[in-house]
Amino acid sequence: MTNLIKHMPANTAAGFYRAEQRAEYITSYEIHHRMDFNKTHERKFATLKLGVQIAEILRPLLDFGPYTEGRYEQMTQRLISIVSFAASFATLIRKNGNTVLYQFGNTFKGQVIDRSLVDISNIEKMIAEKEVPGSHEALTRILCAQPFYAYRKGGGVMAERILEREENQVDHSVAPELRHLPRNQVRGRLINARDGYRHKILAKAVIVGHWAEKDQSGVSLDEAVHTLEQGGCAQQ
């Protein structure tokens, strides 16, 4: 996806600050102890504990399949490997927090599908059902994976070009008597390419979708939020 340049609100600035502090802590820890953060005793124990806990939760599912010796042990080892990989990945993105902030987004069941933000695992089936009488909106039925975003401070070269282009354009959205004021000014200060942040989608959400019926009595998530914002009450 293309980078989007946005003005940085206070909560986003706080997120960047926390990410920088985490990155600094991990880096200083590794330098001081001269070892990889993922190879510490605490990390290995936590990985092993979480892997076994997940295996215990999933153990009853093994009763639904044919019995084979060592199934539980194999599943546990695979889960520990997955948890270990996830922990290493989490540490890696935390260590890069001094320049980039990584976050998972949110996708909800019943949400109207936006193809620019989600990948539909059963898209071929939905296309085949598109002409079925009664089909209307495409909604999320099952969420398989959340979207993953990256935020980088400063607009970079892209922001410089946009600001330069805007300086040479007449802003018709502003009243004529105010067009003599400096462009790109926020609270009395001219913004530059170092302000704001860039936003990029690294991975879309993965969902299983379905078609809503035209006579479905529920409302979409956007409609429900709008109703609540207006002080009303929405039944989903």
Cα gap 222→235, rounded to integer Å: 13
Which candidate, 14, 19, 207, places its Cα nearest to that of 106?
A: 207
Could you say which DSSP state residue 65 is in?
A: S
Instruction: Provide the pLDDT for residue 219.
Output: 53
Instruction: Provide the pLDDT for residue 1.
Output: 43
Cα gap 171→154, rounded to integer Å: 24
Instruction: Provide the pLDDT for residue 234.
Output: 44
Cα gap 217→214, rounded to integer Å: 9
Tell me, what amino acid is at 185?
Answer: Q
Which candidate, 45, 150, 22, places its Cα nearest to that of 91?
A: 22
Cα gap 229→8, rounded to integer Å: 23
Residue-wise pLDDT for 55-69, tens only, equals: 999 999 888 877 788
Q: SS3 of 153, please? A: strand
Which candidate, 26, 51, 23, 45, places its Cα nearest to that of 36?
A: 26
Cα gap 182→189, rounded to integer Å: 9
Residue-wise pLDDT for 9-66, tens only, equals: 555 677 788 888 888 888 888 888 888 888 899 999 999 999 999 999 999 988 887 7
Q: How big is the chain by its Cα radius of gyration, in Å?
A: 24
User: How does residue 236 score in pLDDT terms, banded at 50, 70 and 90?
Assistant: very low
Q: For residue 107, how far is the Cα from the chain centroid?
A: 9
Residue-wise pLDDT for 185-220, tens only, equals: 555 556 665 666 777 899 999 999 988 875 555 555
Residue-wise pLDDT for 102-148, tens only, equals: 888 899 998 999 888 999 999 998 888 876 555 568 899 999 999 99
Cα gap 195→186, rounded to integer Å: 11
Instruction: Provide the pLDDT for residue 30.
Output: 87
Cα gap 113→70, rounded to integer Å: 42
Cα gap 38→30, rounded to integer Å: 10
**The tokens 């003599």 sit on which residue?**
180
DSSP strands (E only) in the chain: 4-6, 100-104, 118-120, 135-145, 148-153, 185-186, 189-190, 197-203, 205-213
